[in-house]
Structures are given as structure tokens and as C-alpha cells.
Amino acid sequence: MTRNGRTALGAVAALLVLAADQASKAWVLGGLHLPERGSVELLPMLSLTMVWNRGITFGLFNGGGHAFAGVQVEGVVLGGFALAIVVALAVWLRRAENRLVATALGAIAGGAVGNVIDRVRFGAVVDFIHAHAFGWSWYVFNIADAAIVCGVAALLLDGWRGRGADKDDARARLAADPHRS
């Protein structure tokens, strides 16, 4: 796959994550009316539980916040920081060495943009997926958060499997000239 192909793959991944994230949040807020219901059990180990996350990932630093002219300062700072990261990811995406990296970067960027949209619209991120079992409870999260975590895991996997020649380009060269080793 060419560099432009990998960039397009990452962009498609970002758009798919963003669309899934925003559609799920629209359904949770407008269709299921989860803010009014609080929580809905889906399975013994999985619930939809409404949480307005004003902090960062997994609710860290989820304090009361400081307002200036009616705007939550922390939300603006966190949103700006997230957008700066998305710009850096886009630069990295243009240089992605393989499809795994391109897809992972797209998933992270799409998730980050989805959460920034929430901060702009609501002043907080809409979190609602709640996994729990045997007295153990994980942080409440959303599709954007899951995409970010999976994207980071994929980048770690790529790093662990080793660097070297771009395997996508090597496969393409071999397919174009099977006598070349």
C-alpha cells in the first residue's frame, strides 16, 4: 500500500470512529434518554451508565472546574490540547510506515475529535459504557475512549514487532516484480 493509501486508510478509520462515537452519544442522550434514567443494565457485567466527564481520560482531574465568562477553562484547555495532539497525529499519519500504524493513528485521532466535540457542545465528555463484575468496576467510558486505547495498543504492538523496512511497500514491490528478492 502506498503512503497516500495509508494516509487515506487512517483518515477513513478516523471518520468511522468519529461517526460511531457521535452516533452512539446521540442515541444515549436523545433516544435512550440516559441522563434521565441514570443507568440501564444490558448484561450482568455491562451497563449503560450516564457520566458527564469534565476531566481527562477515565475521569482523572474531574474537579468542579473554573469558569471564565461562562466557559469552563479546563474544558477549553483540554480541548485545545487534544486538538494539538490530533494535528501531531495527522503529521505522523502522513509518515505512517504500515497499515496498522495508519489505522491506529486514525482511531486515536477520531476518538480525540469525538471527545473534543463533546467538550465544545456540552462542556464535558459523554461517557456511558460501564463494565463491572464480581465487585469490580471499570471506569465509565465511550466509543472514542475505546478507540483511543485500542489505537495506542496497536501502536505498542507495532513497536514490539520491530521496525525495519516498510512491510506494506515491500509486499507491493514483490507483487510487482516476483523475481526480485
State which residues form the domain around 17: 3-164
The model's pTM is: 0.79
Report yes or no on 100 lying in a domain.
yes
Which candidate, 3, 16, 33, 6, places its Cα nearest to that of 147? 16
Q: Which of 21, 127, 158, 168 is catalytic?
A: 127
Cell of 143: 466509543
Give residue 161's pLDDT. Answer: 87
158 in catalytic set = no
Report yes or no on 129 lying in a domain.
yes
Q: Which of 118, 145, 166, 177 is catalytic?
A: 145
* Number of domains into which the chain is organized: 1
d(CA 149, CA 108): 8
Report yes or no on 144 lying in a domain.
yes
Low-confidence ranges of the chain (pLDDT < 50): 58-61, 67-69, 71, 164-165, 181
Give residue 26's pLDDT. Answer: 98
Report yes or no on 180 lying in a domain.
no
Task: Identify whether the C-beta of residue 101 lies closer than 8 Å to the C-beta of residue 134.
Answer: no
145 in catalytic set = yes
Regarding beta strands 71-72 and 125-133, do their DSSP bridges make them parallel or antiparallel, or are they unpaired?
unpaired
Task: Identify whether the C-beta of residue 108 lies closer than 8 Å to the C-beta of residue 148.
Answer: yes
> What letter represents residue 30's amino acid?
G
Give residue 58's pLDDT. Answer: 47
Give residue 166's pLDDT. Answer: 54
Cell of 158: 507495532
